[in-house]
């Protein structure tokens, strides 16, 4: 890996994103619209005293979802394009190391995810009075980490897609089970044993638990840090797998 | 000095078919070598083997004295893929600067490469909005920008107007005169006369490896197109029968 090549590759990916104004606008506006929707869905539900309101519970987890879902899709398509347009083949004949490309994507779209999470969080805290015991900085940090995890998974999955249609199909395969089993819909300790076992090996479960820890505790807890470490570890593992799917030579 | 490219019995299978049937040849340094052959004859496959992105089934490919695909060759070899491989959502200049930076070159080098392919006026334009010919020149600029010792160009002049084609060929010869080796593929024979050396390939077999004059002399005609036809016929009446059976069997 070469810091200069990593930097120019990250810059190149961000520049591509910047040229696509509509995508940038959607990236920032869609979470806001969905948060608004959820806010009004639960606006008339009386909060039971001593319990967090339903909106707070859902909005906090949603802040982690947005970058995860969006960056997974964006990365899968971007990497697939690199493969189908031949730019990947050409890059692999240059001094660029595989890690420069993979980490370049991780940093660029991780940053994009962090900005998305920051904008959505600002809206949730200021406009919709989201209330968390812990600081909003931790929420954004965990959301950005989710983005990096999603980029790593997207880089890996794109190796198994030949077309955009196929790449999009990996969304429900990779993302949907993690959303369903992460503990938002049914608390994890109320699930059947085998569902809990599946949930235990899905990284998003830990990201959600970390967000819930921030929601419930004023100071970062040991559980939160452990969860953050698990998500980061999963991202590194997915990047290593993605590197293994990148072959300089092909048939 | 050792040759820029040495192939020994190079065999490549793609899918379940044998695409290159034991190719042996050598390209000396500082020349423009033309790789000519009809569409589907294996030109792209051979070039991929030279730049080290092709899985090889047998034989060896040696480039600038090192096995093809060696890590240190990546800063010494430039590759233009047949389909333009540039980022459609970046401008010509942004593309050239990125590929320049990968080779440790600066903005001035990028601007020079853009001017060399005649895209100076379109430097600020998004590649996605360029015409086909402009787009492949943008891709060419990105292959030249690293100032490599060996430049492998897969059909660089397809879709270019005659004036530009002549300009590009004179640029290739300038580079060769400065010691750079170029391997340039084409499926149109009128480009063959512009090369210092010719590699004629058909159905994955090399049927000539010589200077244009020597190819003309061997075939006994002055027209290279006609010469190529005669060499094909000669190769078919000779080893061609057995080879044809072997090629189609699998
Ligand atoms: N990815 C591939 N998988 C299987 N066969 C391929 C692949 N790419 C090319 N071929 C086959 O290999 C042969 C040579 O192709 P190619 O090297 O692209 O020829 P050329 O560049 O001379 O047109 C053709 O018959 C082509 O169909
Ligand atoms: Mg070809």
**pLDDT higher at B203 or A51:** B203
| Residue A250 placed within a domain | no
pLDDT surpassing 50 at residue B249: no
Task: Starting from the CA of residue A251, give the closest ligand.
Answer: 1
Q: Could you give the number of structural domains in chain A?
A: 1
Number of Cβ atoms within 10 Å of the Cβ of B233: 12
| Residue A251 placed within a domain | no
pTM for the predicted model, two decimal places: 0.90
Residues in chain B with CB shorter than 8 Å from the CB of A9 are 98, 102
Atom 25, ligand 1: which residue's CA is nearest? B40
The label of the residue with tokens 């994507």 reads A105
Q: Which pLDDT score, from 0 to 100, does residue B224 have? A: 85
Confidence bin at B238 (pLDDT 50/70/90) = low
Confirm if B204 and B20 have CB atoms less than 8 A apart: yes
CA of A48 to the centre of ligand 1 (A): 68
Test A249 with B79 for CB contact under 8 angstroms.
no
Dist CA B138 CA B110 (whole Å): 11
Q: Is B55 in the pocket of ligand 1 (CB under 6 A)?
A: no
pLDDT surpassing 60 at residue B250: no
pLDDT digits (tens, 9 = 90+) for B130-187: 999 999 999 999 999 999 999 999 999 888 888 989 999 999 999 999 999 999 999 8
ipTM: 0.90
| Residue A42 placed within a domain | yes
Confidence bin at B218 (pLDDT 50/70/90) = confident
Dist CA B23 CA A178 (whole Å): 52
Confirm if A204 and A185 have CB atoms less than 8 A apart: no
Q: Which pLDDT score, from 0 to 100, does residue A92 have? A: 93
pLDDT digits (tens, 9 = 90+) for B6-41: 999 999 999 999 999 999 999 999 999 999 998 999
Host domain of residue A215:
3-245
3-state secondary structure string across chain A: CCHHHHHHHHHHHHHHHHHCHHHHHHHHHHHHHHHHHHHHHCCCCCCCCCCCCHHHHHHHHHHHHHHHHHHHHHHHHHHHHHHHCCHHHHHCCCCCCHHHHHHHHHHHHHHHHHHHHHHHHHHHHHCCCCCCCCCHHHHHHHHHHHHHHHHHHHHHHHHHCCCHHHHHHHHHHHCHHHHHHCCCCCCHHHCCHHHHHHHHHCHHHHHHHHHHHHHHCCCCCHHHHHHHHHHHHHHHHHHHHHHHHCCCCEC
Average of per-residue pLDDT across B70-80? 94
Best interface-test mutation with A: which of B20, B53, B104 has the largest number of A CBs within 10 A?
B53
Q: How many residues does chain B have?
A: 250
Task: Starting from the CA of residue B45, give the closest ligand.
Answer: 1
Average of per-residue pLDDT across A50-64? 87
Test B126 with A251 for CB contact under 8 angstroms.
no
Residue A114 exposure: Cα atoms within 13 Å on the Cβ side: 12
Average of per-residue pLDDT across B103-125? 95
pLDDT surpassing 50 at residue B234: yes
Test A5 with B101 for CB contact under 8 angstroms.
yes
| Residue A120 placed within a domain | yes
């Amino acid at each position: 890996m070469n810091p200069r090549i990593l930097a120019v590759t990250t810059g190149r990916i961000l520049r591509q994103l910047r040229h696509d104004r509509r995508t940038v606008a959607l990236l920032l506006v869609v979470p806001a619209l969905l948060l608004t929707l959820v806010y009004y869905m639960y606006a008339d539900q009386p909060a039971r005293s001593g319990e967090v309101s339903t909106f707070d519970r859902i909005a906090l987890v949603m802040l982690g979802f947005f970058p995860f879902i969006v960056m997974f899709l964006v990365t899968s398509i971007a990497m697939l394009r690199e493969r189908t347009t031949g730019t990947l083949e050409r890059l692999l004949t240059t001094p660029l190391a595989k890690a420069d490309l993979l980490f370049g994507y991780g940093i660029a779209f991780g940053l994009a995810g962090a900005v998305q999470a920051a904008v959505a969080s600002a809206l949730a805290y200021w406009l919709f009075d989201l209330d968390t015991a812990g600081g909003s900085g931790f929420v954004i940090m965990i959301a950005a980490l989710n983005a990096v995890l999603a980029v790593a998974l997207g880089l890996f999955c794109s190796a198994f897609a030949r077309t955009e249609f196929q790449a999009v199909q990996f969304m429900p395969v990779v993302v949907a089970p993690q959303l369903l089993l992460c503990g938002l819909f049914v608390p994890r300790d109320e699930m059947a044993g085998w569902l809990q076992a599946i949930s235990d090996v899905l990284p998003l479960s830990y990201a959600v638990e970390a967000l819930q820890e921030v929601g419930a505790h004023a100071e970062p807890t040991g559980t939160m840090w452990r969860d953050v470490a698990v998500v980061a570890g999963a991202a590194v593992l997915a990047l290593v797998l993605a590197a293994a799917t990148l072959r300089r030579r092909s048939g | 000095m050792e040759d820029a490219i040495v192939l020994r019995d190079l065999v490549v299978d793609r899918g379940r078919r044998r695409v290159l049937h034991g190719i042996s040849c050598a390209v000396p340094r500082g020349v423009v070598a033309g790789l000519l052959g009809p569409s589907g004859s294996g030109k792209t496959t051979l070039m991929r083997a030279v730049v080290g992105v092709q899985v090889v089934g047998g034989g060896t490919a040696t480039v600038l004295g090192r096995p093809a695909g060696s890590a240190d060759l990546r800063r010494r070899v430039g590759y233009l893929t047949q389909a333009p491989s540039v980022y459609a959502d970046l401008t010509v200049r942004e593309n050239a600067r990125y590929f320049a930076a990968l080779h440790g070159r600066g903005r001035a080098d990028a601007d020079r490469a853009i001017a060399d392919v005649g895209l100076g006026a379109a430097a600020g334009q998004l590649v996605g909005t360029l015409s086909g010919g402009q787009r492949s020149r943008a891709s060419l600029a990105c292959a030249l920008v690293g100032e490599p010792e060996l430049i492998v160009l897969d059909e660089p002049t397809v879709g270019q107007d005659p004036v530009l084609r002549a300009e590009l060929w004179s640029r290739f010869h300038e580079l060769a005169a400065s010691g750079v080796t170029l391997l340039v593929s084409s499926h149109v024979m009128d480009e063959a006369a512009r090369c210092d050396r010719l590699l004629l390939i058909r159905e994955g077999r090399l049927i000539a490896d010589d200077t244009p004059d020597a190819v003309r002399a061997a075939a006994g005609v002055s027209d290279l197109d006609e010469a190529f036809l005669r060499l094909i016929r000669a190769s078919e009446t000779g080893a061609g029968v057995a080879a044809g059976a072997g090629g189609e069997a699998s």
